[in-house]
Amino acid sequence: MASSSSLSRYQSKRDFNKTAEPSGDTTVAPSERRRFVIQKHAASRLHYDFRLELDGVFKSWAVTRGPSLDPKEKRLAVEVEDHPLAYGDFEGTIPEGQYGGGTVMIWDRGYWTPEGDESPEEALKKGTLKFRLDGEKLHGSWVLVRMKRDRSGGKRTNWLLIKHRDEFARENDGDAILREDRSVASGRTMDQIAAGKGSRPKPFMLKSKKAAPPDAVWNSNRTETASPRASNATIKVRAKKNSSVKATDPANAIVNGITITNPDKALWPDAGDGRPVTKLDLAHYYEAVGPWMLRHLKGRPCSIIRAPDGIDGEHFFQRHAMAGTSNLFTLTKVAGDEKPYLQIDRVEALAAVAQVACLELHPWNCQPGNPEVPGRLVFDLDPAPDVDFAAVIDAAREVRERLEALGLISFCKTTGGKGIHVVTPLSASKKDQVSWKDAKAFAHDLCMQMVADSPNRYLATMAKKARGGLIYLDYLRNDRMATAVAPLSPRARAGAPVSMPLQWTQLRSTLDPKQFTIRTAPALIAKSTAWQDYCDTERPLAPAIKRVTKRSSKANAA
Ligand code: ATP
Ligand code: MN
């Protein structure tokens, strides 16, 4: 994982209110194979940024004259600050006046593998890193060699980037490779990127199962064979990539570096203000509320609901990656399922979410990074159609009070529908961890006590759910694979409502949850302090389980 200190130089140079470059605040899981990217960068002086993924960041060099396929051409590569992994998908224009202001193109990208017996960390320290590139434009063996510091005592660390002699070397080719001046990500020229024109994105493909596993590549490099099976597999993957390239379309838009195709397509016919919500509106919504949302998405498998033709068209519920899934999604394996689950760990992934017309996000309720351990409880209050919202508010307050009496702190949000979710953060510390079975039993017991005390207001039996006049207390969200809609997730329902996190004091009987929409929520959440202390209120569940069980057995005895 990237330590925040290794990115502090990167972050201190940039104002993320002004540049669309990734902030590096969100962690991107390292890929199975190490990535490389070369970004052509028309800053005050044109250069090529050469980046190698290592230990959770991109080690970076500015190569003034660009890489050369001619082994006699040693290209100066000035060491620069580590960049976050999210930077590997950045293409666009850094505003003038900002650090590195100018146009950035993803000129090449792919995977790299160290050569030789040393670890790449050791090799970098010693000043000679030999490696292979498997990109779209660049291939074969290369070396980075650190130069001795000049006597003037300059601050820069200079390296040379040199092509090894192999079948990919080209002598005296006059830098023909640098004239291949189109983005490997979007197919755009520098001018098209500068003009903000869009095009069909060409996402980094999922690693094909046919591709050699990373270890095989590593080992074959060590023995200098880089095996025929591995290279065949690589070629197959590349052929598939090329088939996904579509003609450029100037009508597209770009948000967070991601191309949004059909930006004007209406996903909701009316956001309650007479205007439709377009795909571009959705991308901008996720961009606006993304940093807030991510705290509740990061590290948790997340189901999505897609509606490519809008809320009145077909809905697709999806847990797993599909063909062409953007590499901005994290793919996470959970015990008992071969297929990896989708996970959203960074704001750029939310732009990709909008691009595939994903209207709802439903994360698991586990601890981040640990699907086996409950990370929060969710009490889902479902009123029968004839129950007033005011009665749901009363029920939410009652859940809160009961939790508080057991030592737990809770937060509330509207669902975007008629219900309310009461959410309780649980302590992440190892000694406080409980099983999903115990967490679910706790939620069950608490709800059953509410039913026992007010049978004319509540029920908690799924089979009787639709009973008129009552509120169904759904404790079943508290299970390993159960989900609840994420705070601030839009809903694929009329009026473009969102699940709005609120302060308890905002839950007044006159509150109309329909007021919280894709249109209104960004400004409201920006000035709201709702859920701000969420992380400080995580409590252990075990003591509460003991207390609730005592009360249950007392009630049974009576
Ligand atoms: P409402 O206020 O309309 O009840 P809600 O989000 O609470 O909104 P529910 O139907 O009560 O909707 O479902 C609660 C949660 O359970 C949802 O947010 C969702 O994450 C999950 N869920 C509901 N139905 C399904 C389903 N068919 N498959 C998977 N998860 C579901
Ligand atoms: Mn509900």
**pLDDT at residue 236 above 70?**
no
Ligand 2 center–CA 163 separation, angstroms: 60
366, 480, 483: which to mutate for ligand 1, most atoms within 8 A of CB?
A: 483
* Residue that is written with structure tokens 């307050």 in the block: 397
Mean pLDDT of 249-272: 85
Give the position, in ligand 1's atom list, of the atom nearest the Cα of 380: 7
Ligand 1 center–CA 241 separation, angstroms: 37
**pLDDT at residue 489 above 60?**
yes
**pLDDT at residue 151 above 70?**
no
The percent of residues above 70 in pLDDT, for the chain, comes to 86
Residue 466: name the closest of 387, 390, 392, 379 by CA.
387
Q: What's the CA gap between 238 and 218, in Å, rounded? A: 19
Q: Using N-to-C axis directions, what is the helix angle for 228-243 and 214-222, rounded to 10°?
A: 130
By mean pLDDT, which of 151-160, 289-298, 535-544 is the weakest? 151-160
Mean pLDDT of 308-315: 95
By mean pLDDT, which of 197-201, 301-305, 480-484 is the weakest? 197-201
DSSP assignments along 230-288, one per residue: HHHHHHHHHHHHHHT-----TT-EEETTEEESSTT-EEES--SSS-PEEHHHHHHHHHH
Decide: 276 and 309 in contact? Cβ < 8 Å.
Answer: no
**Residue 420 pLDDT:** 98
**Residue 552 pLDDT:** 74
Q: Which backbone phi and psi does 123 adopt, to 5 degrees?
A: -65, -40
415, 502, 512: which to mutate for ligand 1, most atoms within 8 A of CB?
A: 415
The answer, yes or no, to whether any atom of ligand 1 lies below 6 A from the CB of 483, is yes
Task: List the residue whose alpha carbon is closest to atom 13 of ligand 1.
Answer: 484
Task: List the residue whose alpha carbon is closest to atom 10 of ligand 1.
Answer: 382
Residues 6+ apart with CB under 8 A from 409: 403, 424, 425, 537, 539
Q: Which one has a higher pLDDT value, 209 or 368?
A: 368
Decide: 211 and 240 in contact? Cβ < 8 Å.
Answer: no
Mean per-residue pLDDT over the chain, rounded: 85
Give the position, in ligand 1's atom list, of the atom nearest the Cα of 499: 6
Q: How confident is the model at residue 27 (pLDDT cuts 50, 70, 90)?
A: low
**pLDDT at residue 197 above 80?**
no
296, 362, 413, 465: which to mutate for ligand 1, most atoms within 8 A of CB?
A: 362
* pLDDT tens-place string over residues 370-386: 999 999 999 999 999 99
Ligand 1 center–CA 448 separation, angstroms: 20
Q: How confident is the model at residue 249 (pLDDT cuts 50, 70, 90)?
A: low
Task: List the residue whose alpha carbon is closest to atom 27 of ligand 1.
Answer: 317
**pLDDT at residue 140 above 80?**
yes
Q: What's the CA gap between 74 and 181, in Å, rounded? A: 21
**Residue 154 pLDDT:** 67
**Residue 30 pLDDT:** 60
The answer, yes or no, to whether any atom of ligand 1 lies below 6 A from the CB of 413, is no
**pLDDT at residue 61 above 60?**
yes
**Residue 150 pLDDT:** 59
Sheet holding 358-363: strands in order across? 316-318, 302-306, 358-363
The answer, yes or no, to whether any atom of ligand 1 lies below 6 A from the CB of 382, is yes
Strand pairing partners for 128?
145
Ligand nearest to the CA of 413: 1
Q: What's the CA gap between 558 and 373, in Å, rounded? A: 34
- For residue 142, the SS3 value is strand
Decide: 422 and 412 in contact? Cβ < 8 Å.
Answer: yes
Identify each DSSP E strand in 256-375 by its residue range: 258-260, 266-268, 277-278, 302-306, 316-318, 330-332, 341-343, 358-363, 366-367, 370-374
Decide: 7 and 57 in contact? Cβ < 8 Å.
Answer: yes
The answer, yes or no, to whether any atom of ligand 1 lies below 6 A from the CB of 380, is yes
**Residue 32 pLDDT:** 63
Give the position, in ligand 1's atom list, of the atom nearest the Cα of 418: 2
Length of the chain: 558
Q: Which one has a higher pLDDT value, 233 or 157?
A: 157
**pLDDT at residue 224 above 70?**
no
The answer, yes or no, to whether any atom of ligand 1 lies below 6 A from the CB of 501, is no
SS3 per-residue string spanning 53-82: EECCEEEEEEECCCCCCCCCCCEEEEEEEE
**Residue 230 pLDDT:** 31
Decide: 52 and 58 in contact? Cβ < 8 Å.
Answer: yes
Q: How confident is the model at residue 476 (pLDDT cuts 50, 70, 90)?
A: very high
DSSP label of 203: P
Ligand 1 center–CA 222 separation, angstroms: 51
Give the position, in ligand 1's atom list, of the atom nearest the Cα of 421: 7
Q: In the chain, how long is the greatest CA-to-CA distance?
A: 93
Q: How confident is the model at residue 268 (pLDDT cuts 50, 70, 90)?
A: very high
By mean pLDDT, which of 50-59, 72-81, 328-337, 422-431 is the weakest? 328-337
**Residue 346 pLDDT:** 84
479, 485, 489: which to mutate for ligand 1, most atoms within 8 A of CB?
A: 485
**pLDDT at residue 201 above 80?**
no
The answer, yes or no, to whether any atom of ligand 1 lies below 6 A from the CB of 417, is yes
Residues 6+ apart with CB under 8 A from 384: 466, 467, 468, 469, 470, 471, 472
Ligand 1 center–CA 365 separation, angstroms: 13
**pLDDT at residue 238 above 60?**
no
Ligand 2 center–CA 464 separation, angstroms: 15
Mean pLDDT of 172-185: 84
**Residue 281 pLDDT:** 96
**Interstrand relation of 471-474 and 458-459 (parallel, antiparallel or unpaired):** parallel
